[in-house]
Amino acid sequence: MTPMSSLTAVLYGVLVVYLGGWFLGFWTGNFSLLLFVLTLVTLAFWLAERFHFKPRRLEAAKTLEQQAATRRAELAKMGIERVDGDVEEARSRLLMQPWWLDWTAGLFPVILIVFLLRSFLFEPFKIPSGSMVPTLMVGDLILVSKYHYGVRLPVINKKIIDNHAVERGDVMVFRYPVDPRLDYIKRVVGLPGDEVAYLNQTLTINGQKIETVAQGEHYDDDSMSYAPLYTEKLGKVEHQIRVDPRRAAYFGPEPHRFPYSENCRYSPEGVVCKVPPGHYFMMGDNRDNSQDSRFWGFVPDENIVGKAFFVWMNFGNLGRIGSFR
């Protein structure tokens, strides 16, 4: 085994261990960072292949052809016209890309395309919980527009180009403020400067009650329970929410104090929060079964991942495929 093939085997071993530990829950992975590292590693192998290994193989094949031609010429002088040996087969073997380059340099274009698409255009996301029921169901595979709110540098998530402003009613994917390695999805309820109140299961923004229209009962497969369904309008977006009158209204903060927690007042009726500059107040559409800004605080602008807009697959219910508000 050559040094380069050994190095490639070690790199693949590290990748398998990392992905295995991630899958089994031993640690939390960062897919954006992993994809970035894979792009850099395969780029290094691709450059090495193009400017070092491939020229060496071509030179070796050329030398073989020259040696074969010289041998045939010498044998021809001796009156020997028929020469044993398959030069073409040997040449093909010399030009053949070794497995460790095929599985590194050969993958670079594909990994680069995936990295660029995921970083700047669209990112897939799987709905892991029922906090956005009835808009999004557990198991929905959705697409997130990475450029809707502006272009951000991958991994560090630094915005370099502005686009659309965040609006009330948007369904947004963001990095969980408590643990930025995790992605969360909720609906934007409060913009910077808004005063958001959720008291006795009634939402009020800047002193104005958000009107709802009853839509009957809703059955949730995940919790196997019925609860009232309402239509609500936030900004320009009309959507449905699920409200469970059997649940308590208190949303006291978790033991740790989140940034700007002094902007929130908690009571047995609920919570009132003043959204600080550059932050957003997020809530789930399953209002009484959602861990959101009422519990862990505000989402800073730098945590924004993108705007969710399309269900591209749900293997348990193909009828879920389509756009949503």
Q: Look at residue 307 and tell me whether its pLDDT is greater than 60.
A: yes
Q: What integer pLDDT is reported at residue 221 of this predicted model? A: 75
The pTM score is 0.84
Q: What integer pLDDT is reported at residue 109 of this predicted model? A: 96
- Per-residue pLDDT tens over the stretch 38-59: 999 999 999 999 999 999 999 9
Please give the distance of CA 17 from its chain centroid, rounded to a whole number: 21
- Per-residue pLDDT tens over the stretch 279-289: 999 999 999 88
d(CA 135, CA 158): 29
Q: Which of 146, 186, 293, 307 is catalytic?
A: 186
* Whether residues 171 and 195 fall in one domain: yes
Alpha carbon of 122 to those of 33, 66, 113, 145, 172: distances in Å?
16, 52, 12, 5, 13
* Whether residues 13 and 101 fall in one domain: yes
* Whether residues 68 and 154 fall in one domain: no
Active site residue 267: no
Q: What is the CATH number of the domain that holds 204?
A: 2.10.109.10
Active site residue 5: no
Q: What integer pLDDT is reported at residue 252 of this predicted model? A: 61
Q: Which of 115, 132, 147 represents a domain boundary (last residue)?
A: 115
* Whether residues 172 and 141 fall in one domain: yes
Structure tokens at 17: 């261990």
- Per-residue pLDDT tens over the stretch 145-179: 999 999 999 988 899 999 999 999 999 999 999 99
Q: Which of 131, 145, 290, 293 is catalytic?
A: 131
Stretch 183-199: mean pLDDT, rounded? 97
* Whether residues 176 and 242 fall in one domain: yes
The domain total for the chain is: 2
Side-by-side strand order, sheet with 195-199:
208-209, 202-205, 195-199, 270-274, 264-267
- Per-residue pLDDT tens over the stretch 231-269: 999 988 999 999 988 876 666 655 558 999 999 999 888
Which residues span the domain enclosing 44?
3-115
**What is the residue-averaged pLDDT of the chain?**
90
Q: What integer pLDDT is reported at residue 87 of this predicted model? A: 78
* Whether residues 167 and 296 fall in one domain: yes
Q: Look at residue 81 and tell me whether its pLDDT is greater than 60.
A: yes
